[in-house]
Structure 1
């Protein structure tokens, strides 16, 4: 009898303790003030999966950097603020004389970062894989002082090996070479002979955000360094969607074809800001401080209305929601046309409503996504948004044959956003990302011409055919839609 009473007491205490944890976790989710769909999804996970749901939330639900990185981020802020103030002393490289469609974004950047549009840059859109590798290797071969890189994926083979060899030769002639690669995205490369050869040649390679199951107590487990950046001699810089991979040798077992990417090659004052972002990432990861680039010593004379730019860096430790705000501002600024390219389409409710509202006020809204996708979950979650987008007047196109991996937004053939950001919750709220904001009609025309080639190789999603798809597809889409806020 006493044993039965003791057992009942223990059971009651365990039950009470469990529900106290459930209540505490629920309050924590709600107080984070994330989008409603995000909150509801996590609450369902917590309630449907006892104990496991709570563990998943604390491992994956919050973008906490870890105490050590938070301290480093706080320590860096005065240095970055001082650098921005110093930049502003060189007023000739800044301008507020931007186009009407771009003005709201540059005003947002000014108030959030303290910097106006950066003038006098020379930029080039590169869309052919071999051309990108050729230009990058040529610039590496001509480097004289330093090369800094950060990439989500580095995959040996083909043209990636050519980059490896060029970096080794640069290091041997005295160029300081630093490379950061994401631990998850580049997990195979980190353990290859290629990585060993590069280190032996004096190249500093840092594995960023190391993946380790024991680290989830101190840092969110699936944080990703998703930037793609190259800086050469503090003068030339690159960013865009392409990792250091040769598409002929990358993920061919997924049967999605070769990845199609774009990069932007830049020189001029904008590279100064790129260098500051890289130095911040380096210190955040290693705790070691890099010298910030010398301001305008290398900048070409500003040209009126020539390639006015800004760089938007996002991720934990950076301005919260910044890239989300920039995208919303761009969408609401559009008067004639918006064209998106993204491999992963899992938008926030705010962006979904913004693009549908734009279409309903007469703006032509086009979204180009790949027909085949390397992520099964994202593919089906994306399809869950098709009906609302089509009903809202948005034109959806699916790119044939290969996996369209380019991430771009073109507004009114004037404002371009090119970088690493996908239209999904992970890019918008979690990953370390970077986007180049470009106010220039000439560059926009180059991007528009490229987008027309994408459209020529794409099939438009028919509203009538979409509504007549099999019932089982509806079921699968709604199932994966449940996970959309968590992808």
Structure 2
């Protein structure tokens, strides 16, 4: 009997698909993620299997790179002991208010992130038109080192201005180290990179995308946005380097209003932020730059009114736990009165959905601000599938209509503010390299709360009645998108 190639291919494919099915079931302990991948590989023949091997195979336990974190954290602990007198004084004054978040602070430290530090000056920078002038001023004043890394760095007007400063400082002997994510900065001009290197800047792509290591690299993105100058000033937040992130009319026509949030920090938490950069640098540059060489012991005495309590949380495929997710969950559970969340991408896992529902049931007011439209249609559809059950639970959901809200922030009880790079989705919590800053301070929280309420002036609330009146076709499509939401 003659067997056709079609028959052979058919049976080979189904044998392989059964193998993939067992792999998915064995690999994922979270049933929602397993279901999402099973749905994908069976609904989209061949393509679904290919997507699984590129994006689905879990490599967290395989460790993408070997961290030198333990040695560096020991150095940071020694440093922290040397500056602890100021910290102890400030923490003693804040102890009654810190009591509510004592468990959160301990969790962050036990996760291997940072100790609670005092004597920090924190400035909230709203939008690129505020951030970029401040950053350029600090870069121009650098005397020893500039460490800078961005998920997206474009060589447009804003990017060129910063590159010019970096090249000028490098020529004057300042050590400049520059990391860009090879996926987030696709299309980055190699000629400019060569000029930067010729000027003395050390430049490296994080996980450079290569054909034979595509799956290992494209799925694990360095989504961090960090700049550290002379080990004293740090910038962290949601704003990448590109004209798109500023609403400066002098740069030409603004395509879409961009609403974002960043931080400028001085003080004793800066070395912890720099340590995150150096671990990334040592991986992609294959060097061993020691955090001890970067520590500064000559921080200027900060005014008492500027002594903010700050911790830094970071996580990625190299960390044993999703530390940012754990810390956000703990902060939500610690809330007693109010939670204000702003995020461009809202695809929560079951734990986050339950945490928000429980918070409302405990009497906490929970408000969520998301874009009316993000830059990813499938993400919008998946996100919208969660809105109805949260609205029914009592969560207030607002859609920002002025432009694109890209800020990733949370304010809890008028005291804790979280600003960083992590979105409220599985990619940020499980796959990307991210960093969030936790600020325990009433003044900063009050500023963040006012910003949130100002943003609501350019937003519309989603009500139960309007959401129920949508077409059944749209609701069905959103539910289909939700099935694959754990893997977006």
Q: With structure 2 as the length reference, what TM-score do the two structures score? A: 0.89
Q: Secondary structure at the match of 1:385?
A: helix
**Which whole-Å CA distance do the structure 1 matches of 2:20 and 2:72 have between them?**
35
Q: Check conservation: 2:121, 2:306, Cα contact below 8 A.
A: no
- Which stretches in structure 2 are left out of the alignment for 5+ residues? none
Q: Say whether 1:122 aligns with 2:115.
A: no
State the Cα deviation string for residues 166-224 of structure 1 (Å, max 9, x = none).
21221222211111111111112243x5434323322222111222343136x153221
Q: Distance in 1 between matches of 2:210 and 2:17?
A: 26
2:107 corresponds to: 108
Correspondence for 1:320:
321
3-state DSSP of counterpart to 1:150: strand
Report the counterpart of residue 246 of structure 1 in structure 2: 243
- Tell me how far 1:38 sits from its aligned partner: 0.9
Q: 1:190 to 1:62 in 2, by over 3 A?
A: farther
Matched, 1:229 2:226: yes
CA–CA distance in structure 1, aligned partners of residues 475 and 268 of structure 2: 50
Q: What count of residue pairs does the alignment treat as equivalent?
A: 474
CA offset at residue 321 of structure 1? 1.4
Name the residue aligned to 1:280. 279
Query: In structure 1, the residue corresponding to 2:111 is in which secondary structure?
Result: helix
**1:39-438 matches, cutoff 5 A:** 39-64=34-59, 70=64, 72-74=65-67, 76-87=68-79, 89-90=81-82, 91-92=84-85, 97=95, 99-113=98-112, 115-191=114-190, 193-216=191-214, 219-247=216-244, 257-293=256-292, 294-295=294-295, 297-301=297-301, 306-438=307-439
**3-state SS of paired residue (1:119):** strand
Give the Cα–Cα distance (whole angstroms) in 1 for the partners of residues 245 and 80 of structure 2: 45
How much has 1:383 moved relative to structure 2?
Answer: 0.9
Structure 2 distance, partners of 1:116, 1:179, is 26
Distance of aligned partners of 1:49 and 1:89 in 2 relative to their CA distance in 1, 3 Å threshold:
same
Change (3 A) 1:77 1:166: closer
Deviation at 1:19, TM superposition (A): 5.5
Whether the 8 Å CA contact 1:407–1:419 is kept in 2: the answer is: yes
Gaps of 5+ in 1: none
Find the residue that maps to 1:188 and give its secondary structure: coil
Q: What's the offset of the Cα at 1:304? A: 9.4
CA distance in 1, matches of 2:131, 2:8: 64
- Which segment is superposed worse, 354-363 or 108-117? 108-117
Asked if structure 2 preserves the Cα contact closer than 8 Å seen for 1:120 and 1:300, the reply is: no
What root-mean-square deviation, in Å, do the aligned CA atoms of Structure 1 and Structure 2 show? 2.8
CA distance in 2, matches of 1:248, 1:48: 37
Structure 1, residues 105-162: CA drift from partner, whole Å, max 9, x if none? 1010122227531111111111142221111111011100110111011122233322
* Structure-2 change in CA distance of 1:400 and 1:256 (3 Å): farther
TM-score normalised to structure 1 length: 0.90
